[in-house]
Structure 1
Amino acid sequence: SNDNIDNIVARIRLLGMPLHCYHKKVLRMIGNVVGKVIRIDYNTESLTRGKFARIAVEVSLNKPLCSQFFLDGKMQKVEYENLPVICFNCGIYGDNNENCPQLKTIKGATKNSENNGVGNITNSGGD
């Protein structure tokens, strides 16, 4: 059982962001939409890694993970690297979509929840 684990540090990747977002201040703001920023990959900020940003964030295992958010009016997907089994429906550690208790209780129903796993930020560019 995982009763004592409430938070983990996860590495996230954000692919295809606009170039003006690759600044420490902006990356920190973006990372804080997902969780508490622990570290911004140095290579990410200097753009030597390619076309994605990598940020280490602390996330709560008691809440659903943020899988996407609006960035400058466009949907930005969040990729989590090397996570233990975590259900993206209920966000619970050790669960998976096949065994999710929330999915079982809403069996057959469509789930349209406002902002479910979605954050929202806008950025005017700059430093």
Structure 2
Amino acid sequence: MLKSIVGYGDVAKAREETRALMKQAGYGPDKPLEIKVSTCSISVFRDPAVILIDQLKQIWIEAELEVLDTAVYYNRVFTKDFFVAMNYNGSAVDDADVTFSEDYACGSLPTTTATAIPR
């Protein structure tokens, strides 16, 4: 069952497949894709962003960490002024409506991923 969930299965194989895609796109160990990962200056945001950057190196993506003040970070997230943003999101486990309305409702301000499910 776990092998059917994204992120599980043969990690080495997945990395090799990703590296092949990166080669097709013209990137490699001597020419990594350079990006910026933006995050908030709070540790629950920053620490996972550091881990993400380390993982991206495995597939030839060289990321610069941009740590922003909370107000600046959320302004950029809500205006979608970022390339990659590491966000932290919690929700009420006993109320799916909260997650639905905040993360998937069309036009909802917290829908930072632009994911929308029209009715």
Q: Which has the higher strand share?
A: 1
With the length of structure 2 as denominator, give the TM-score of the two structures.
0.25
Larger RCO, structures 1/2 (Cα 8 Å, 6+ apart) = 1
With the length of structure 1 as denominator, give the TM-score of the two structures.
0.24
